[in-house]
Structure 1
């Protein structure tokens, strides 16, 4: 069987996409407990609602990430080229309890720590650092924390990246086309036509012209598009990669633009009652991004495509996720403190001074002599690690037997 024949076998017909994507998601989640945690937001909120929801404090009503694991944080560039560590995936965002973001981040870090064979004592210290980092965001003093080494390395790489890095990583090709294969599947004529019509709209085309180095009045042309097989928890949703040319000429990097179109779906994260949120899921994601991750929010648009709400954004070379599959014992506390502070700042910027002070006081309550963190935070993470480890093993059994 030649290479082209093998590639075609990896490209299912549109009507068979869902079954193939479901299988890929199951396989990804079977790789490790940390991958299972990252890919199973629903199980986390089943625990929140059914097992321990009443034991958690009810924080101020703010926009939360809703799926705050380590892979959903990382360097993000704004339209002016400035780069910061912010939340980078807002599919699950709702106006809800900020505690849910803190606990989910703690679960993600604890799972990574256990996968790194760190001792239980290391995990205790890491959760203490998590609590301290989050609380620090609500202080009146704006203290910029030093980036821990794993975050610093990713940040340095993000700042020096160019279009060439993005093309090799995302589309595996420097030429102005999207190569079909395992990651990219062909579109139907209807999909291609709808995408081309979408970028004829000025408000959508402006995504490609809003960067400081691009011509704001430049013409935007769709060079290529494909169905994108990407992510883990998002596998199975409608998703497209679109390659645009801005102002003609196809100059390397400057005039090429890679767009991610992702279906907006109902959030698993519970929202607070009696709060106003957009009913359209794509608009909800955009609004949450503007509050939690301003660098990302300003570079996103919501639209309708094939009768579905979709979120559209340009992928920049500087946009990266933190790859923290394993933790060194010397870095674990620093990483936990730093990432919790990032999440805390995204919550704090939505609160007035009085609300911040009250929430900080609540976070400092319910301590013991054995751990310098709220007992509800520690017990929640312990329960969740146990629950997800059992769920992971059961998932592997079902995946192995095909049931």
Structure 2
């Protein structure tokens, strides 16, 4: 690419970026925070999100789950094989994911807490998430019991019927069918309007995207000058590697709940220099990799770098996502990069209907079970299934260790949620 063209593109980017910031501030009169005031605002946003419902509190307060694991009678839990686990397996962390060739499956979509640990922890956390969704939906208590029974049945199916794992379309509940249909029909324009509000090559500043400093911008641009990182954008959807990947725009991304306060950036790239349509544009999510709070098994070998750990966990648990991720270093911290595809969606199950409650629980547990089972040989799967069923009783189909764990956790999180609301309300009033 000629030098004059590169110089023109750099000037054009600078002018577009400044005009965009000025217009957003003037027309929408947004109070956009600077770098120095981010943390306080992010903490307030996180507290507000967690105060919305018990289910939201469970999603944003992973630490309370791990605290319970440390204090619980661990001897009553089955000791599963050393397996990569999600570590934060709630309903919002599952959803449709596209691979590099556009094939779509529902898999685990957030691996910040992934470690090699006890797979029982994922099943318990998923059960807690579903139970709080049931309570938020005002379902009768017996329905919650039925959901936990269905949860265990779906998870066990992944180990008992390994040969039939891929034929799951008929097993999807309506909520999964709806989100899959949405994922299949989506294009770049859907992603752009949802994330960027338009299809122009800029990131709109506002509540979700905040401006970054010139130093942050320079470090992000330097990151994409590396071939190993630039290839993340050029390798997907058959894009030709015709030249350098160019950073068109970048912003701090106010996203998630438990991740608020970490490094998080949205980066808009031009892949082939044309900026003609969606195939030329690429939206990258950069997220800081932090030390996992999830308990890991002792003496297992995992990457010491937290970004590399997340990528390796994704490759084992969610192959569609793992092949689209890279680890790197930004501002001296480990970060994970992945391209956001239009087909990547989350299952929003804040509430669950009475008629679908059991099918939702069964199906989501099946997805998690498959992620675990694909890492085990036939004998290990058989032994793990036998170990899980060890404390089943005549009164219910789920083992007692699963039911009693979820019961304790629902109680402690209900208390924690109300206490959080009290503290948040007092802080907001002050």
Structure with greater proportional helix content: 2
Q: What is the match of residue 352 of structure 2?
A: 327
Q: For residue 366 of structure 1, what is the aligned residue in structure 2?
A: 391
Partner Cα distance (1:386, 1:9) in 2:
41
> Structure 1: how far apart are the matches of 2:252 and 2:263?
8
Bigger shift: residues 244-253 or 254-263:
244-253
1:177 is paired with a residue whose SS is: coil
CA distance in 1, matches of 2:313, 2:272: 31
Q: How does 1:3-402 map to 2 (within 5 A)?
A: 4=25, 10-143=31-164, 144-145=167-168, 146-402=171-427
What corresponds to 2:20 in structure 1? none
Q: Residue 7 of structure 1: CA displacement?
A: 5.8
Deviation at 1:260, TM superposition (A): 0.2
SS at match of 1:233: coil
Q: CA RMSD in A?
A: 1.4
Q: Distance in 1 between matches of 2:276 and 2:390?
A: 57
Q: Secondary structure at the match of 1:310?
A: strand
Using the size of structure 1 for normalisation, the TM-score is 0.97
Q: What displacement does 1:175 show?
A: 0.7
User: What is the Cα deviation at residue 173 of structure 1?
Assistant: 2.1
Report if aligned partners of 2:100, 2:324 keep a CA contact under 8 Å in 1.
Answer: yes
Give the whole-Å Cα distance in 1 for the aligned partners of 2:88 and 2:242.
Answer: 37
CA distance in structure 2 between the aligned counterparts of 1:187 and 1:118, rounded to whole angstroms? 45
Q: Which 5+ residue runs of structure 1 have no aligned equivalent?
A: none
**Superimposed CA distance per residue, residues 15-39 of structure 1 (whole angstroms, 9 cap, x where no aligned partner):** 2111110110000000011000000
Maintained 8 Å contact 2:25/2:31: no
Question: Once structures 1 and 2 are overlaid, which stretch shifts more, 12-21 or 314-323?
Answer: 12-21
Query: Displacement, 1:181?
Result: 1.1
Alpha-carbon separation, structure 2, partners of 1:33 and 1:163: 34
Tell me if the contact between 2:65 and 2:409 (Cα under 8 Å) persists in the aligned partners: yes
Query: Quick check: which has more Rg, 1 or 2?
Result: 2
> CA 1:228–1:141 in 2, change beyond 3 Å: closer, same or farther?
closer
Contact 2:34 2:212 in 1 (8 A): no
| Residue 56 (structure 1) shift | 1.2
Distance in 1 between residues matched to 2:75 and 2:36, nearest whole Å = 43
TM-aligned CA deviation for residue 213 of structure 1:
3.2
Gap runs ≥5 in structure 2: 1-22
After TM superposition, give the deviation of residue 179 of structure 1 in Å: 0.9
Across the two proteins, how many residue pairs are aligned to each other?
402
Contact 2:24 2:205 in 1 (8 A): no
Name the SS for the 2:95 alignment partner.
strand
Counterpart Cα distance in 2 of 1:141 and 1:181: 47
- Normalised to the residue count of structure 2, the TM-score between the two structures is 0.91
Q: Using the TM superposition, name which of 325-334 and 362-371 deviates more.
A: 362-371
1:52–1:380: 8 Å Cα contact kept in structure 2? Answer: no
Q: CA shift at 1:12, angstroms?
A: 1.7
Query: Deviation per CA, 1:148-183, whole angstroms, max 9, x where unpaired?
Result: 100100000001001111111112221110011111
Query: Residues 60-87 of structure 1, C-alpha deviation per residue, up to 9 Å, x if partnerless?
Result: 0000000000000000000011000000
Contact 2:241–2:272, Cα closer than 8 Å, also in 1: no
Structure 1 residue 363, shift from structure 2 partner: 1.5
